[in-house]
Structure 1
Amino acid sequence: MFGLKKYTFGNKPLTRFFKQRYSSHPVNNNVRSLTIADIKDKYMNGMPLTMITAYDYLTAKWVQETQSDMLLVGDSMAMTSLGYTSTTELPFEEFKYHVASVTRASGSSMIVVDMPFGSFEQSYSYGVANAIELLKINPKVTSLKIECGNHDRDHYTIGFIRELCERGIPVMSHIGLTPQRANSLGGFKVQGNQSANDILSLYNTAKYLQKIGCWSILMECIPYKVATFITENLNIPTIGIGAGNGTNGQVLVISDMLGLSPDNNLQSLPRFVKNYDQLNSVAIKNLKIYKDEVEQKKFPSIEHSFKLKETIWKDFLDLIK
């Protein structure tokens, strides 16, 4: 069905065609995505940066509607959305499928994509090939995020990040608690809080990552004094998660902050998460209402049904007679 809808631009009337929407109807809105230069401009002007994770078209559309500065396609989807027990289980092909889904959502948020466990550890050439593959999924994929150990121990990842930066591939490095290396870190624990040498190692790692070309650094589960000091001594933006309010920006996992995961409860959330709603319980409540209404023949009612002209129905009855 086509109809006419009138709009105005200034004092001039405009008319355009529109289609009746059914349950699924794509809308094509060409919106310019933010760039690294835009993010750096906000950083230079002292404006706090926002980042939220998304894992499919629906959650990406939510994030894009908020006009968050950045959208992170994180490998945290393994546990929060896909039912895996660890991020290390996530297959690269499955991850790429979700990256493609996220990029279909229009909006201005700049898209940053994780390099999941196993996508770069085999060799530099293997990792570079996979990095390029992620960037080629969609032009909206602007930067990669790579978890990195301290520079005095994790020589391989530091070298790999240098390889990418030298090829002009934008990298946001991730230091502190790195979930892909949780086993070697002794679990999901705060980093840089045991000794002055631990703090120095984190600080030197951040400085070195800036030196080799990272355009930003994400810091996870680091004492706020340490994260603030590192931020104040860098010339690139820092994004914190569990790193206090002294970083240049913040990121949270969407399923944690909105209570989307079936296994989420307020007691099990990390300390650094602020829960803004419990959409999982809201969804279950309303799905139960739907189930009850169907079983009681309350849904669908006449207003949810399509009508037919009585003359056509009469002609049909005459035909079958």
Structure 2
Amino acid sequence: MSVVKKEYKRVTVKSLVEMKKDNEKISMLTAYDFTMAKIVDGAGIDVILVGDSASNVMAGHETTLPITLDQMIYHASSVIRAVQRALVVIDLPFGSYQSDPKEALRSAIRIMKESGAHAVKLEGGKEIKESVKRILHAGIPVMGHLGLTPQSIYKFGTYTVRAKEEEEAEKLKEDAKFLEKAGCFAIVLEKIPAKLATEVAESVSIPIIGIGAGNGVDGQVLVTHDMLGMTHEFHPRFLRRYLNLYEEMNNAFEQYSEDVKSGEFPNDEEQY
């Protein structure tokens, strides 16, 4: 069944709330550089996340923890220069907001001023309430992130599904309502049971974006390099690969090497 969509020349935090109200699903993907962001934006994706997953995807780190605020600003600036329509949200990296609300505000201000971003995203619930409040009071839009929070991976010890037990599920629901009440415009729910994610989406008025959280939420987010099949070693259940770029690119590189070594490239038409 086709979905009638309202045309947004520029997606804003208000647009996302309208989409939820109109039962229009929200599309969200990551980007870390100008070229990829331009393609993603041109395809009509609603939200582009400059995620701290750049630590894994772009720099090859095992976790998201090593990436710095300066590096996030660099990636964010590159993306912003490419985007004309999508809402661009930037992750505050590990260590830039958790323990000191004043530091959190300084970090968010730097991202907004130096990159031109539209909003920031923070992992956590009530435990980071002072940081959330300070950033929001400064007029900076905040997206929350609950469930599996990769910046806390050493606390969890694993990337397994979160909130399967009743106590953790109740805390997640309370945290979602807290983030809504505090003023967050949306929340990402990562790798939690689909039934719980649906309950959360139905209990709040702000959009809930899922990754490994089922289809009962208001939108979906994936890491672009994963859904394009560039990171071929990664096989979580929630990931749908729309292309196999790893194989396509590998074949192209091999063919290029063969053409160079054989002298077939460049041919007469490719010379001046």
Q: Shared fold (TM-score greater than 0.5)?
A: yes
Determine the C-alpha separation between the residues in 2 that align with 1:36 and 1:198. Answer: 29
One-letter code aligned to 2:184: C
Give 1:182-261 correspondences, 5 Å limit: 182-194=153-165, 196-261=166-231
For each residue in 1:126-162, what CA deviation from the matched residue of structure 2 results, as whole angstroms up to 9, or x when unmatched? Answer: 22111011011343x111110115x3xx2xx122111
One-letter code aligned to 1:142: H
Bigger radius of gyration among the two: 1
One-letter code aligned to 1:300: P
**Corresponding residue for residue 256 of structure 2:** 290
One-letter code aligned to 1:176: G
Q: Does residue 105 of the first structure (1) align with residue 70 of the second (2)? A: no
More strand as a share of residues: 1
TM-score by length of 2: 0.93
**Corresponding residue for residue 268 of structure 2:** 302
For each residue in 1:201-246, what CA deviation from the matched residue of structure 2 results, as whole angstroms up to 9, or x when unmatched? Answer: 1111101111111111110011010000011010111100000000
One-letter code aligned to 1:135: M
One-letter code aligned to 1:229: E
Give 1:59-74 correspondences, 5 Å limit: 59-74=36-51
- How many angstroms does 1:186 deviate by? 2.6
The answer to whether the Cα contact below 8 Å between 2:104 and 2:135 also exists between their aligned partners in 1 is no
| Structure 1 counterpart of 2:240, from 269, 274, 289 | 274
The answer to whether the Cα contact below 8 Å between 1:258 and 1:279 also exists between their aligned partners in 2 is yes
Determine the C-alpha separation between the residues in 2 that align with 1:94 and 1:38. Answer: 29
**Corresponding residue for residue 21 of structure 2:** 44
| Structure 1 counterpart of 2:122, from 121, 146, 151 | 146
Partner of 1:131: helix, strand, or coil? helix
Partner of 1:250: helix, strand, or coil? strand
One-letter code aligned to 1:243: A
**Corresponding residue for residue 136 of structure 2:** 165
| Structure 1 counterpart of 2:149, from 163, 178, 192 | 178
Determine the C-alpha separation between the residues in 1 that align with 2:30 and 2:243. Answer: 16
Give 1:51-62 correspondences, 5 Å limit: 51-62=28-39
Determine the C-alpha separation between the residues in 2 that align with 1:35 and 1:215. Answer: 10
Determine the C-alpha separation between the residues in 1 that align with 2:154 and 2:13. Answer: 33
- How many angstroms does 1:122 deviate by? 4.7
Determine the C-alpha separation between the residues in 2 that align with 1:95 and 1:207. Answer: 28
More helix as a share of residues: 2
The answer to whether the Cα contact below 8 Å between 1:51 and 1:249 also exists between their aligned partners in 2 is yes
Determine the C-alpha separation between the residues in 1 that align with 2:50 and 2:86. Answer: 12
For each residue in 1:1-30, what CA deviation from the matched residue of structure 2 results, as whole angstroms up to 9, or x when unmatched? Answer: xxxxxxxxxxxxxxxxxxxxxxxxxxxxxx
Partner of 2:121: helix, strand, or coil? strand
In structure 2, list runs of 5 or more residues that go unmatched: 1-7
Determine the C-alpha separation between the residues in 1 that align with 2:28 and 2:78. Answer: 18
What is the total number of aligned residue pairs between the two structures? 265
In structure 1, list runs of 5 or more residues that go unmatched: 1-30, 307-321
Q: Please tell me the root mean square deviation across aligned C-alpha atoms, in Å.
A: 1.5
The answer to whether the Cα contact below 8 Å between 2:11 and 2:87 also exists between their aligned partners in 1 is yes
One-letter code aligned to 2:201: T
> 4+ residue stretches of structure 1 with deviation over 4 A?
none
For each residue in 1:186-213, what CA deviation from the matched residue of structure 2 results, as whole angstroms up to 9, or x when unmatched? Answer: 311211102x222211111101111111
For each residue in 1:222-279, what CA deviation from the matched residue of structure 2 results, as whole angstroms up to 9, or x when unmatched? Answer: 1010000011010111100000000000000011111123xx23xx421111111121
Higher relative contact order (CA 8 A, sep 6+): 2
**Corresponding residue for residue 80 of structure 1:** 57
Determine the C-alpha separation between the residues in 1 that align with 2:106 and 2:229. Answer: 36
